[in-house]
Amino acid sequence: MGETKAEDRKYRVSKSVLALLAILMLMVIAAAVYVVPRYGKVFSAFNEQRKLYSAAKTDLSKAEKENAELKKQVEDYEAVKSETDAARDEVYAMAAQLEKDIIDGKSDKKICYITIDDGPYNRGKDFIELFNKYDIKATFFLTTANGDKLPDQANLTARSMYPEYLKYGHTIGNHTYSHDYSKGGVYKNAKTFIDAVEKQQEFTKAATGGFTPKIVRFPGGTSMAADQLAPIQEALRKAGYGWIDWTIDSGDSFGGDDAKADKILKKVVKASKDPDQKIMVALFHEWSKESYKAMPQIIEKLSAEGYIFLPLFYDSAMVKK
Amino acid sequence: MDKDDKNKNPEQNKTSRHTWIGDEEEVRKQEAMTERRTYTLSPQATRIVQKQKKKYSGFITDEELENSDIIKIEDRKTTLVNKEDISQTRIYDPFEKQGTEGEPEDKGKAQPKSRYITITVSDSAKFKRIIALLAVFLILIAFEVSYFVLKSYTGKIPAETQTAKTQTEQIVAENEQLTEQIGQFNSKDEMKELKESWERLKQKIGNTE
């Protein structure tokens, strides 16, 4: 008799299940025969690809992190710039009102718009430093006529100077691209003039990262336009520009003794006594050493006369539209 | 428990142990017990256990077992050999025909077809080997699955790597633009100073009212 013992285990299994199990085991063995010799190669390839992927993800992560930081910085800068621009716009609004009050005789205050023409050249930085020292703001009417290379300033280019003018609240005006007031130059007709203005505009925008001046100064003044003045003015008006001449020419472009510092000072100070010069637009040139020499005293004397030094703005009553 | 102990408590021992002779299906049959044959696979096995025919009751008591004319196997070695040979599986078939002593029974007739197979594992060592074999197969299956998974990932990863690289290039270009943009700004101190200079100018202009 067969003995059944306590540890005997009985399992009742369906024949079809057994058959399936057998087939499965055969398949597993067959697959193992295929897989085992290839596993090493596949594993190496996987590791290789994984390393490359990991490196790419690390680079991406670094770039994203840097991107987030840079965006944050830009946001911070733009926030401060926005506040600064708001303060500037308030000044312009107050200045416009002050001009009106002065013109209407409601205010005894005086405004002086110092305008420096023909830069960037050789004294742009010097004038900026001087104005900053006296905590005043001026207007620079720029042209590309001098080329990109600046004389006596080996490390500077004209393009690199443009943002410098704006940095401390001074403003930039459009003095045309070529400053060519010879026959056949910018005053040939309205189109040539507008082309010269637009070309200078493009250059300014590119060099400053977006600043587009809306005030034009005619090379040599509006009197140089002669019979083209009206069409040019119309064209400027249509293009959204304003233009301005000056109320006092320092004389630094005349040459001879009249262009000397003491004569310049004397002329400007004399003009400050004129009741019609309560809103003064003074013309100087960046290349004039004598103007630069006279400027500190000009500022002091005019300040003593009660002048507030402001940069020009489009809504100023002095800007023709 | 030896015979003396059993005689001390005959009542207790009468039905104290039930020995199943057949499987569940067999239990239900009310047929005469048939002769069961033990097929010896070893040349050393010489004994055939023969059981007396009696009415099948489903179980047998100890007393009946002792009083029967069962030939006890004295050859321990033979017994062990038999057990080893047939311990893995013992297939019980309900034999209808009685066979003669010592001769293999003709199984050709009347074998009822069953969809099930009963597997008996009588030895725990064997059982552990079966478990170990199953474990090996499971490991093999896991190994093979991992192979195909690795292969699949290896095919997909280059595209994802290229996507990451492309994204990185775009972001690096954007970073350069942002850096240039930041360069155009004044420093924060300069911008604050500029703001303060506008404030001072406002004070100079003053309220004209």
Would you call B188 and A84 a contact, using CB atoms and an 8 Å cutoff? no
B177, A67 Cβ separation under 8 angstroms: no
User: Cα(A163)–Cα(A128) distance, rounded to whole angstroms?
Assistant: 12
B100 and B160 share one domain: no
pLDDT given for residue B15 in this prediction? 42
What is the model's pLDDT at position A114?
98
What digits encode the pLDDT tens for the residues B94-120? 554 444 444 455 555 566 677 888 877
- Verify whether the Cβ–Cβ distance A70 to B192 is below 8 Å: no
Distance from CA of B23 to the nearest CA of A (A): 10
Q: How many CB atoms lie within 10 A of CB A241?
A: 22
Q: Mutate which of A53, A72, A279 to disrupt the B interface (most B C-beta within 10 Å)?
A: A53
Q: Is A308 on the interface with B (CB under 8 A)?
A: yes
User: Identity (one letter) of the amino acid at A288?
Assistant: S
Same domain, B9 and B110: yes
Q: CA separation (Å) from A172 to A151, A186, B61, B182?
A: 20, 20, 121, 21
Q: Which domains does chain A have, with CATH numbers?
A: 108-309 (3.20.20.370)
Contact A10 B182 (CB under 8 A): no
Q: Cα–chain-centroid distance for residue A151? A: 24
Which of B90, B105, B122 is where one domain is finished? B122
Residues of A in Cβ contact (< 8 Å) with B21 = 1
Asked whether the beta carbons of residue B198 and residue A13 sit closer than 8 angstroms, the reply is no
pTM more than 0.90: no
Chains A, B: CB contacts within 8 A come to 183
Range of the domain at B172: 129-205
Residues of chain B in contact with residue A101, where contact means CB-CB under 8 angstroms, are 208
Domain count, chain B: 2
| pLDDT, position B17 | 45
Subunit contact B194:A101, Cβ cutoff 8 A? no
Residues in chain A: 321
pLDDT, mean of residues B2-27: 47
Q: Which range has the worst mean pLDDT, A47-51, A228-232, B36-40, B189-193?
A: B36-40
Pinpoint the alpha helices (H) of B72-187. Answer: 76-86, 124-184
Q: Higher pLDDT residue, B34 or B194?
A: B194
- Indicate whether B135 and B93 sit together in one domain: no
How many other CB atoms are there within 10 angstroms of residue B24's CB atom? 10
Q: Are residues B86 and B152 in the same domain?
A: no
Contacts of B28 (CB under 8 A, 6+ apart): none
Instruction: Inspect the interface and report whether the beta carbons of A49 and B154 lie closer than 8 Å.
Output: yes
Distance between B9 CA and the closest CA of chain A, angstroms:
24
| pLDDT of res. B99 | 46
Q: Same structural domain for residues B9 and B71?
A: yes
Do B111 and B137 lie in a common domain? no
Q: Where is B112: in which H helix or E strand? A: none
Same domain, B21 and B79: yes
| Nearest residue, CB atoms, B202 vs list A39, A90, A169 | A90
Cross-chain CB nearest to A25 (options B121, B137, B179) = B137
Tell me the C-alpha distance between B33 and B19, whole Å.
Answer: 14
> Chain B within 8 Å of A87 (Cβ-Cβ)?
yes
pLDDT range class, residue B209, cuts 50, 70, 90: very low
Hey, what are A285's tokens? 């040139």
A82, A79, A169: which is closest to B194 by C-alpha?
A169
ipTM value: 0.81
Res A60: pLDDT? 97
Same domain, B70 and B149: no
Q: Are residues B106 and B135 in the same domain?
A: no
Shared domain for B60 and B139, answered yes or no, is no
Domain match, B27 and B91 both: yes
B159 and B103 co-located in one domain: no
What are the Cα distances from residue A52, in Å, to A48, B149, B169? 6, 18, 16
The rounded distance, in Å, linking the Cα atoms of A206 and A211 is 8
Last residue of a domain, one of B91, B122, B153: B122
pLDDT at B155 over 50: yes
Give me A41's structure tokens. Answer: 């190669």
Measured in degrees and rounded to the nearest 5, phi and psi for residue A267 equal -65, -45
* Single-letter code of the amino acid located at A133: K
Res. B19: pLDDT tops 50: no
Domain boundary among B122, B151, B175: B122
Q: Using alpha carbons, select from A221, A213, A217 the residue that is nearest to residue A243.
A: A217
> Which among B167, B182, B201 has CB closest to A60?
B167
Q: What angle separates helix B124-184 from helix A15-103, to the nearest 10 degrees? A: 10
Per-residue pLDDT of chain A (321 residues; tens, 9 = 90+): 444 455 567 778 888 988 998 899 899 999 999 999 999 999 999 999 999 999 999 999 999 999 999 999 999 999 998 999 999 999 999 999 999 999 999 999 999 999 999 999 889 999 999 999 999 999 999 999 888 777 766 677 888 899 899 989 999 999 999 998 887 899 999 999 999 999 999 999 999 988 999 999 999 999 999 999 999 999 999 999 999 999 999 999 988 888 899 999 999 999 999 999 999 999 999 999 999 999 999 999 999 999 999 999 999 999 999
Yes or no, beta carbons of A98 and B208 under 8 Å apart: yes
Residue B55 to residues A150, B27, B67, Cα–Cα distance (Å)? 129, 12, 15
